[in-house]
Amino acid sequence: MSDSVHDYSAVWHKTIAALRREISDAEYMMWLNKLIYENSAEGRITVCVPSKLVLEEISRRYSQTLEERLQELSGKKISLEFIVRKHSGPQEKKEAPPVVETKKGITKHSQLNERYTFENFIIGESNTFAANAAIAVAKNPGKAYNPLLIYGGVGLGKTHLVQAIGNAIHKNFEEKKIIYVTAESFTNEFVAHIRENTPHRFTNKYRNADVLLLDDIHFLQKTERTLEELFHTFNALHQNNKAIVFTCDRPIAELKYMEDRIKSRFGQGLTTNIQSPSYETRFAILKKKADSLSLAIPDEVIDLICNNITTNVRALEAALSTLVGYAELVSKKITLETAQAQLRDQFSAPQQNNVTIDIIKRTVADYYGISLGDLSAKKKTKALSDPRQVAMYITREITEYALTEIGQEFGGRDHSTVLHACDKIKNKMKTAPALESRIQSLIHQIKENSVKA
């Protein structure tokens, strides 16, 4: 019987479509979108993959699931056979995020980076909620999710998303006045107007905006007069259904030096976070970046970078830029060996903030003569609760970990327990100078240990 009688192409595409609904867009674009149906025979489908790396990952992640789905849909056992061959493109075109169709001939907005768009923002499990919320705001500014707060660590894409909102609104609602500003620039501008005795100009500028995009509001902590002005600006804009988008490095409730009334206002809309990207998302980000620069980067090199840099998008792109710069200067192709040699320092460099909870716990435990396990234990004896509360307080003071993350590291405690511990230590230090001195000494030692780590 000829192979043409056993054409399983239809059941193959149904299988891929079914599986796609169960995984993230980044994971799909990373792996399943690279599979090309080649041919079939009785009980067998041959699929083409572009590299050995893709073959290994497909075999490990999806082979069994694919064969099970094929059997469910066809009613017969169908095995998969893979061949490695570079092909011209994926089995379907990549779909752009569902933003409103843009108008042509719109000039660039002076405060926005035109490279920051939804079309070139890679959506994965770590940022799906934030990206979809941003897209919704761009479609209906002032109506959908107002205000919107996007929070997350350094280099994860907060600025990209907030500027993508601005660019999309600028293209589709050109009559709207959009202001994008960092918290630092907002503060500096406000101070300058106060110094020049022209605060009304500042007020008029911001309260007449249709869209206010304010980046990194955590920098506004302890700026009492600036926060007071922003509070009234927020009220004026919100009452008139103007769009407001903030970014922050943590949940608004965890900003230590901001009045509750201000935190309540800023957090009354939708709050969404961006987490560290998964391997698939990191791979997709670098692949898209390389494609945009028309660079031939082997998958093995991208795999190397993604396995060694897991913290944020900025660090990933910095590694890629290093390789591109080297290749251009010495006129050589980027190979796995080249990448290993040129990125050695970046792979081995300590993180920007090398203080970890483990180092804090170890230092505090050594000082008090208890074990690491004691700091996470459920026991509430004074001999253990005091060191535990000190460790929690120091963690909150010198790191950017959220209260919930700190609680998990200290025996699965909730955020309110951590907050209570921090407040208790803070109050004790007011009447016990020796405790404050001890904590400062511990912080100094922790930082020294972090440099050695």
Residue 427, burial from CB neighbour count under 10 angstroms (0-12, 13-18, 19+): exposed
pLDDT reported for residue 91: 45
Q: In the structure, what pLDDT confidence band is assigned to residue 4 with cuts at 50, 70 and 90? A: very low
Q: What angle do CA 438, 439, 443 make, to 5 degrees?
A: 120
Q: What angle do CA 202, 203, 208 make, to 5 degrees?
A: 110
Q: Is the pLDDT of residue 1 over 50?
A: no
Q: Is the pLDDT of residue 448 over 80?
A: no
The architecture in CATH of the region 128-274 reads 3-Layer(aba) Sandwich (3.40)
Reported as a single tens digit per residue, the pLDDT across 371-416 is: 888 998 888 888 899 999 999 999 988 887 878 889 888 998 988 8
Q: Which of 49, 114, 54 has the alpha carbon at shortest distance from 84?
A: 49
In the block, residue with structure tokens 């920007």: 352
- For residue 265, the one-letter residue type is R
Which residues, in sequence order, are CB contacts of 348 under 8 Å at separation 6+? none
CA distance 396 to 361: 12
pLDDT reported for residue 123: 87
Fold equal for 279-348 and 357-452? no
Q: Which helix (H) or strand (E) holds 180?
A: strand 178-182
Reported as a single tens digit per residue, the pLDDT across 238-271 is: 999 999 999 998 788 777 778 888 888 887 889 9
Question: Mean pLDDT throughout 191-205?
Answer: 92
CATH class assigned to 3-84: alpha beta
CA distance 23 to 93: 18
pLDDT reported for residue 102: 44
Which residues, in sequence order, are CB contacts of 2 under 8 Å at separation 6+? none
357-452 carries CATH number 3.30.450.20: no
Q: Residue 192, Cβ neighbours under 10 Å: how many? A: 11
Tokens of 65: 């699931």
CA distance 291 to 354: 33
pLDDT reported for residue 98: 47
CATH fold for the domain made of 279-348: Helicase, Ruva Protein; domain 3 (1.10.8)
Q: How many CA atoms lie within 13 A of 291 on its CB side?
A: 10
Q: Are 35 and 58 in contact (CB under 8 A)?
A: yes
pLDDT reported for residue 278: 82
CA distance 278 to 27: 9
**Radius of gyration for the chain, computed over Cα atoms and rounded to the nearest angstrom:** 27
Domain parsing of the chain, residue ranges: 3-84, 128-274, 279-348, 357-452
Question: Mean pLDDT throughout 206-213?
Answer: 95
pLDDT reported for residue 452: 56
Reported as a single tens digit per residue, the pLDDT across 79-89 is: 999 998 865 44
Q: Are 395 and 357 in contact (CB under 8 A)?
A: yes
Q: Residue 240, Cβ neighbours under 10 Å: how many? A: 12
Q: What angle do CA 396, 401, 403 make, to 5 degrees?
A: 70
Which residues, in sequence order, are CB contacts of 85 under 8 Å at separation 6+? 48, 49, 50
Tokens of 314: 């900025």
Q: Is the pLDDT of residue 55 over 90?
A: no
More confidently predicted of 27 and 150? 150
Q: Residue 20, Cβ neighbours under 10 Å: how many? A: 16
Q: Which of 41-50, 305-314, 360-369 has the lowest mean pLDDT?
A: 305-314
In the block, residue with structure tokens 């998958």: 299
Cα 326 to Cα 321, 329, 358: the distances in Å are 8, 5, 37
Reported as a single tens digit per residue, the pLDDT across 142-178 is: 988 999 999 887 788 899 999 999 999 999 998 999 9
CA distance 169 to 242: 12
Q: Is the pLDDT of residue 214 over 90?
A: yes
Q: Is the pLDDT of residue 92 over 50?
A: no
Tokens of 301: 């090199």
Helix-, strand-, coil-residue percentages of the chain, each rounded to 5? 55, 10, 35
pLDDT reported for residue 87: 58
Q: In the structure, what pLDDT confidence band is assigned to residue 360 with cuts at 50, 70 and 90? A: very high
Instruction: Kindly give the residue spans of alpha helices, DSSP state H, lying in 114-198.
Output: 128-139, 158-172, 183-195
Question: Mean pLDDT throughout 274-292?
Answer: 84
Q: Which helix (H) or strand (E) holds 403?
A: helix 403-409
Tokens of 148: 């919107």
**Secondary structure of residue 125 in the 3-state scheme:** coil
pTM value is: 0.58
Q: How far apart are the first and last CA of the chain?
A: 66
Tokens of 246: 């903030």
Tokens of 131: 């990206």
pLDDT reported for residue 117: 92
